[in-house]
A = this chain, B = another copy of it.
Amino acid sequence: MSREQLTKIILPEDKTPRFWYNVQADMPNLPEPGLNPQTKQPLAPADLEPIFARELIAQEVSTERFIEIPAEVQELYRQFRPSPLFRARQLEKALDTPCRIYYKYEGSSPVGSHKLNSALPQVFFNKVQGIKRLTTETGAGQWGTALSLACKQFGLEAMIYMVKISFTQKPYRRSIMELYGGKCVASPSTLTESGRSELAKDPNTPGSLAMAISEAIEDALQREDTNYSLGSVLNHVCIHQSIIGQEARLQLEMVDDYPDIVIGCCGGGSNFAGIAFPFVPDKLAGRNIRLIGVEPAACPTLTKGVFAYDFSDTSGLTPIMKMYTLGHNFTPSGIHAGGLRFHGESPLVSQLYHDGLLEAVAVKQNATFAAAMIFAQTESIVPAPESAHAIRTAIDEALQAKEEGVSKTILFNLSGHGHLDLYSYDRYLSGEMEDIEFSEEDLQESLKSLPQI
């Protein structure tokens, strides 16, 4: 079918990529090495072995361009991959824009988001190494849900530390994790030293991803049979998510198109990396393509943070990484896009942004939900609040192009559906949503917590 007829573009299963793409093979500058949190010396693989599977550590520093997806993972991918690419015809009509807008829809996975793309291989590589149990943190609950399911599928236990404010506000996120067999507690919890220490400081803390990471790592360090798993930020997660952009690229080829602009929402960076990294080689080769990460104005890591060595958690248990950061003591305000409430940023995204290969914008909460409403009422899918950040910028770019009288091809990642986030829409519809201002003072205070290297 021609480009003008197709709405939903389905990649034939036999064209599905069998390899992940690793941007480390093509970067002009690799990220600075991670540092051991105690010695502050460059990390050796052995430093990571107490908490990560060896194959994942190898991927972390690999410069192989393509990494084969294990057959066991491919088999499970097949249930929800390739994911559909949609031409947003109704949205285009509503905006009256000359642009062609496409979205890659990752909400069609059984957990409703892109997170399963990395949960499955992470659990698999741990399983082959004999690990019986994985710990992790979760913010909005998307990652915890994906890890619970992946653990159930490979027969491992999942232990999830969920940021307290989300645990309280979103009880059904916990239900779905438990339904998949995972165990989920509010973080900070009394189960770990890190948690108890945070609770002693402030018994009413809403928690943060950084605190929950501390708890999950501490738990994993206690038990031989237990490793830790992270749903974003790290290089191996970006590698796994590359399946998104690789598929999208092939799907656009099917309709003889290619993007001028590629957009993803950006918290830890994994879904933005997933859609954008497979296009980096083209940009390096001189192709005119813009790759834009969209973050919440309340947690503007790339647009307002500093490029510095920092921890990913509050207790200083994680490796120290060179990344854009608001400081690991920064507690992002309680915006509805819980998955984007993270002070740091993927080192790969950070380096590429620093080198001018990626762009970033920050958008406010009400403008984001306004975009989500336009999208839902035209394209029918209710987007997750996180994904709505990408929609906001896609709409802004399409309107900008219209004003300039040019037609552009815009591709964005619709990383998940919002059927578990209707509480947030309720707030928006009843006019009770606030645009929380970002505080420069808080930032300056938090940046004092950066480790001295």
Contacts and interface: CB of A to CB of B under 8 A. Distances in A.
Q: How large is the interface on A (under 10, 10 to 19, 20 to 34, 35 or more residues)?
A: 35 or more
A381 B180 CA distance: 10
Copies in the complex: 2
A75 B373 CA distance: 22
Contact of A422 (B13, B152, B176, B426): B176
Contacts of A181: 377
Given A10-B10, A79-B8, A382 B110 contact: yes
Interface string A175-204: 110111100000000000000000000000
A373 B149 CA distance: 12
A172 interface: yes
A7 B108 contact: no
Nearest to A116: B380
A149 B79 contact: no
Interface in A403-427: 417, 419-420, 422-423, 425-426
A101 to B, nearest CB: 14
A90 interface: yes
Contacts of A422: 172, 175-176, 179, 420
A382 B8 contact: no
A175 B380 contact: no
A367 interface: no
B79 A110 contact: no
A153 interface: yes
Nearest to A420: B419
Given A376-B179, A419-B419, A422-B172, A8 B108 contact: no
Interface in A155-172: 171-172
A293 interface: no
Nearest to A171: B426
B377 A78 contact: no
A86 B90 contact: no
Interface centre among A149, A373, A419, A420 (most CB of B within 10 A): A419
Given A80-B380, A179-B429, 9 more contacts: A8-B13, A8-B80, A10-B13, A111-B380, A152-B377, A175-B422, A175-B426, A179-B425, A180-B377
